[in-house]
Structure 1
Amino acid sequence: MTQEDRSRDRIQSVERAVAVLRAFGGHDATSSVSELAARVQLPRPVVRRILLTFEHIGYVRSENGRWALTARILELGAGYFAASSLPEIAQPIMAEIVAQTGETCSMGELDLPDVIHVARVEERRPLPDAVRVGTRLPAHATAVGRVLLADLPEPELDAYLARPREAYTPLTIVETGALRERLRQVREDGYDVSIEELHPGMIAAAVPIVVAGRAVAGLTVSSTTLRSREAALRDEVVPALRDAAERIAAAYRAANPGVYRTPPAAG
């Protein structure tokens, strides 16, 4: 199916409705119709009709002119967090990483131009600027994002690198040539370390979780410059992450035999 065929088969009203739901993320608990309309760049009457539809089926509620998601919205993600899902399988192994390193462990999946955090196990000492499950972070400015970018097919990587990128600190890599070279090094090393590239004082190491030759997610440990150093991340955390990523990949493959079939023996 060509890109033109896919475009013809899309339902615009569904795309708009999903955009309104996504507009609730990362903002205040409640939003007005005007605020949502501005975020999705749709007319207020269109957004209002979408909200009324979602209210009818129980996914949003309104009070005093403000709209909020209801608990029923969690139904939409229930299938993703099933027993055979990557986050569910990874959670106990991530807890072992936290016990071993004394630092917070997260897992992210690529959704260009960002990484979405899909699982997280906190260390008892909370991190500043801590993220939650569902938080999106820029792929180019995070270790977990770069281990996933490094796995992209060349045409997809070229398309991504053609986009502008934001510098979050003086250490953020934004120049195309420098980022391409960094990703080449990440591909060669099999891991990445980020030092104060997204937030001052924050550092992280990450490795890809590779299933059937494809990086399906990234596993990362985050800390602060007060608690850890780059050498400790490379020498102690990265080996632990690699072992955990291999175990998660093996368990995920075994839990999804219909997707990852073992090829028949030769002869």
Structure 2
Amino acid sequence: MAVTTERSRDRIQSIERGVEVLRAFGERDATLSVADIATRVKLSRPVVRRILLTYEHLGYAVSQSGQWSLTPRILELGAGYFQRSSLPEVAYPYMADVVEATGETCSVGVLDGVEVIHVARVEDRRPLPDAIRIGTRLPAHATAIGKVLLAHLPQRELKRYLAKARLEEHTPHTITDPVQLRERLDLVRERGYDVSMEELHPGQVAVAVPIVVDDRAVGGLTASSTTVRETEATLRDTVMPVLQRAAAGIAGAYRNANPQIFRSR
């Protein structure tokens, strides 16, 4: 149950509902009916319809044969984040180097609550099954990139995460016990990387390292592959050092691009 606070009373409910309707359109659901959206966001159909008609008026949505979809104009809402000095824009050249050196797909992700949002991605010519797209959200506890980000949280924030996160089992290799996860995160923090072997999807593996600026992880860098191409040893011994060099380069470039955030000490 949500706690009513002075800040929560200042929120505009109609905007919150509008955002929920936008988020109903996932990477695998380009078109949805009013009924589909109403079910997902737990709002009445008339409310959803009015929100969609507003988006249509603004040019952000379009309807055809009872199915709604977003228009390319929706991209302008995220343009501010993908500015020249943003983490994705700074990271792309280094990610391209990772892909060239390893032959594996490379992504940058940031922590958002109990999930990781992928904000940049450079794919190898051999796309992975269930390929991740920019904006995809994945459970932090079941991914290498999620664990390196969790491992670098301040202790108070990590404790809050462990208290509220649902550690769902995605494969037999997923860590679902909070004590075991805490032990794994301690190890990740100590060694500076994580290797995930089929923890989220069968046959899929990944290695990740943090992007650290001034002792704070501003994101994570990961290379993902399959059990056909990589083993835990090759991810650790061959791919991980390439990621670490790229992460150091990204961290330096990101710091230099944002002097207002990371001021010289």
User: Secondary structure at the residue paired with 1:130?
Assistant: coil
User: Secondary structure at the residue paired with 1:235?
Assistant: helix
Counterpart of 1:257 in structure 2 is 259
Structure 1 residue runs of 4+, over 6 Å off?
none
Counterpart of 1:80 in structure 2 is 81
User: Residues 97 and 90 (structure 1 numbering): CA distance in 2 closer, same or farther, change over 3 Å?
Assistant: same
Counterpart of 1:182 in structure 2 is 184
What is the TM-score when the length of structure 2 is the normalising length?
A: 0.95
User: C-alpha separation between the residues in 1 aligned to 2:124 and 2:213?
Assistant: 27
After superposition, what is the alpha-carbon deviation per residue over 1:9-39, rounded to whole angstroms, capped at 9, x for unaligned? 2111111111110111234221111110111
User: Secondary structure at the residue paired with 2:5?
Assistant: helix
Counterpart of 1:225 in structure 2 is 227
Counterpart of 2:144 in structure 1 is 143
Specify the code of the residue in structure 2 equivalent to 1:149: L
Give 1:3 shift: 8.1
User: C-alpha separation between the residues in 2 aligned to 1:115 and 1:6?
Assistant: 26
User: Secondary structure at the residue paired with 1:87?
Assistant: helix
Specify the code of the residue in structure 2 equivalent to 1:129: D
After superposition, what is the alpha-carbon deviation per residue over 1:11-69, rounded to whole angstroms, capped at 9, x for unaligned? 11111111110111234221111110111111111111111111111111111111110
After superposition, what is the alpha-carbon deviation per residue over 1:88-118, rounded to whole angstroms, capped at 9, x for unaligned? 1111110001111111111111112211111
User: C-alpha separation between the residues in 2 aligned to 1:89 and 1:164?
Assistant: 33
Specify the code of the residue in structure 1 equivalent to 2:58: I
Specify the code of the residue in structure 1 equivalent to 2:251: A
The correspondence for 1:202, drawn from 201, 204, 207, is 204
After superposition, what is the alpha-carbon deviation per residue over 1:169-202, rounded to whole angstroms, capped at 9, x for unaligned? 1000011111111111111111100001111111
| 2:217 is the counterpart of 1:215 | yes
User: Secondary structure at the residue paired with 1:83?
Assistant: coil
Long gaps (5+) in structure 2: none
Counterpart of 1:89 in structure 2 is 90
User: C-alpha separation between the residues in 2 aligned to 1:217 and 1:3?
Assistant: 32
Matched-pair identity in %: 66
Aligned length: 262
User: C-alpha separation between the residues in 2 aligned to 1:48 and 1:27?
Assistant: 21
Counterpart of 1:54 in structure 2 is 55
Long gaps (5+) in structure 1: none
Q: How does 1:58-137 map to 2 (within 5 A)?
A: 58-137=59-138
Is the 2:60–2:73 contact (alpha carbons within 8 Å) kept by the matching residues of 1? yes
What is the TM-score when the length of structure 1 is the normalising length?
A: 0.95
